[in-house]
Amino acid sequence: MPASSIGFWCSVVAHQYFARLQQKLAELDITSWYYVLLVIEEGGGKWSQQELADRLDLDKVSMTRALDHLGDRGYVERCSCEGDRRKHLVKLTPKARPLVRTIRKAYEELNDEVLKGVKKADRAVFMEQLMAMVENLRKEGLPVTVTNKRVQA
């Protein structure tokens, strides 16, 4: 197999990584959107749905689906913003707290598994390089939104 396509190999890693993550979290009542919960926790209930979508590089439809899915299970809620009635902030519910700890632990274990044999300092450099690749692919600072739609070249 040719090793010339960064995109192909990143895709292979992403698919295998996510499949392994789903195995680790099989006992949960959600099968996706794990990372969304971690980002919502990071925001501490101060980020709107649009701000979350921007941070996650998700389009509006995907972000809405994620929040609806997580909200239906009682893990997130949308709250009115005092300064802007049009804006809804997203926060975790108390029910989500133990779930977030489980998800965070699964990510840490999986990262250790995937990066087995890689020195801690090299792990940090790898993440910096990966983030640099994402930034290099963005046009004019705009996010490359994750979508299920076919991208037109």
Q: Is 14 domain-assigned?
A: no
d(CA 145, CA 18): 18
What 3-state DSSP class applies to 42?
Answer: helix
**Residue 148: pLDDT above 80?**
no
- The residues, any chain, with a CB within 8 Å of residue 113's CB and separated by 6 or more, are 20
The residue-averaged pLDDT of 13-24 equals 94
Identify whether 109 is part of a domain: yes
Indicate whether 118 belongs to any domain: yes
Q: Note the pLDDT of residue 152.
A: 47
% of residues, the chain, pLDDT over 90: 64
Tens of pLDDT, residues 85-131: 778 899 999 999 999 999 999 999 999 999 999 999 999 999 999 98
16 or 83, which is more confident = 16
Indicate the pLDDT class of residue 31, thresholds 50, 70 and 90: confident
Q: Per-residue confidence at 153, pLDDT binned at 50, 70, 90?
A: very low
Whether the CB-CB separation of 107 and 101 falls below 8 Å is answered with no
Whether 143 has a pLDDT exceeding 80, the answer reads: no
Task: Provide the pLDDT for residue 83.
Answer: 77
Residue 11, judged by CB atoms within 10 A of its CB (0-12, 13-18, 19+), counts as exposed
- The gap between the terminal CA atoms of the chain, to the nearest Å, is 25
Query: pLDDT-derived band of residue 68, with 50, 70 and 90 as boundaries?
Result: very high
Does residue 6 lie in a domain region?
no
Q: Closest Cα partner for 51 from 143, 150, 148?
A: 143
pLDDT of residue 145: 59
Contact status, residue 38 vs residue 75, Cβ threshold 8 Å: no
Contacts 24+ apart (CB under 8 A), 111-115: 113/20, 114/13, 114/17
Domain, as residue range, for 118 = 33-137
Q: Please give the tally of structural domains in the chain.
A: 1
CATH (domain of 59): 1.10.10.10
Q: How far apart are CA 106 and CA 91, in angstroms?
A: 21
Q: Is residue 28 part of a domain?
A: no
